[in-house]
Amino acid sequence: MNSSRWHGKLQLDFALQDGTTLMTRSQGTAPLKIQRPFYPEGAEVCHGVILHTAGGIVGGDRLRIDLQVAPSAHALITTAAASKIYRSNGQEAEQTIQISVGEGACLEWLPQEAIAFASAIYRQNLRIELAPSATWLGWEVTRFGRSASGERFTEGTWRSHTEVWQQGKPLWIDRQWLEGDRTILDSPHGLNGCAVVGSFALVGRAATPEIVEKIRRLWTEGQSAGKYNGEAGVSRLISGLLCRYRGNSNSEVRSWFRDVWQLLRLSYMQRSACLPRVWQM
């Protein structure tokens, strides 16, 4: 295989055994692997950290992650670092993620942000199958261009396609597509001059108007205090809720999403948010 092209796979299974969520299967091929699981908040929730050992994604890469959470288990998955999607040689890089969450189980899918370099060509397909009473909570944050060095995403293509299904019915389908072009980058219907976008969804649990209002207040109170400067929105889904962010700061969207995560965890899981240790490095 050409060393500059990766066809990596990672298969992970989690199951609840005697009150402990265990990683019962971990099979991977380079460049994907997972660290040893750990339990910073007790035996019921298993934390896992996915590593991409090649350091970044290039055109022609094909990555696949298959993840199953058995009934009543609870897993939290993040990544060891921000993902870098490098300038393409003309080929598309693709990542496919298939997730199955069993009855009464919960998966928190919380990867660190991705950085799409100018001229990157990238597609991500994420599909989640939820059993009755299962919960999926996940976010995606992307920075377009290496803003610190003045780079903008004026060329390239980025696609993100997320689907959440339950018993053959769609609960949430979200298709995002950005073509590198100054007009789209600057349009109020595009990025409006911003470099960072984020989506955060909870699916599988009904969202009350009160919860939605609390999340909106988190943002407006943060704005009033000078904590937030971007744009944000919150809406209800068929079975859950969705938060959107558009701005210029990774730390800003991180802060807001973590505040929302804390509120949702307390409201739906009766436990405080427990930051993965890799976020604190």
Residue 1, pLDDT above cutoff 70: no
pLDDT tens-digit readout, 207-261: 999 999 999 999 999 999 999 999 999 999 999 999 999 999 999 999 999 999 9
Nearest residue to 174 (alpha-carbon basis) of 212, 215, 203, 144:
203
Place 140 in a pLDDT band, splitting at 50, 70 and 90. Answer: very high
pLDDT of residue 280: 82
Query: What radius of gyration do the chain's Cα atoms show?
Result: 18
Q: What residues contact 63, with CB distance under 8 A and at least 6 apart?
A: 6, 7, 8, 9, 31, 32, 52, 57, 94, 95, 96
pLDDT of residue 281: 66
The answer to whether 29 touches 5, Cβ cutoff 8 Å, is no
pLDDT tens-digit readout, 159-185: 999 999 999 999 999 999 999 999 999
Residue 2, pLDDT above cutoff 50: no
pLDDT of residue 13: 98
pLDDT tens-digit readout, 23-49: 999 999 999 999 999 999 999 999 999
Specify burial of residue 170 (Cβ count, 10 A radius: 0-12, 13-18, 19+): exposed
Instruction: Tokens 């944050």: give the residue.
Output: 141
pLDDT of residue 148: 87
User: What average pLDDT does the structure give for the chain?
Assistant: 96
Distance separating alpha carbons of residues 281 and 279, to the nearest angstrom: 6
Q: What is the pTM of this model?
A: 0.96
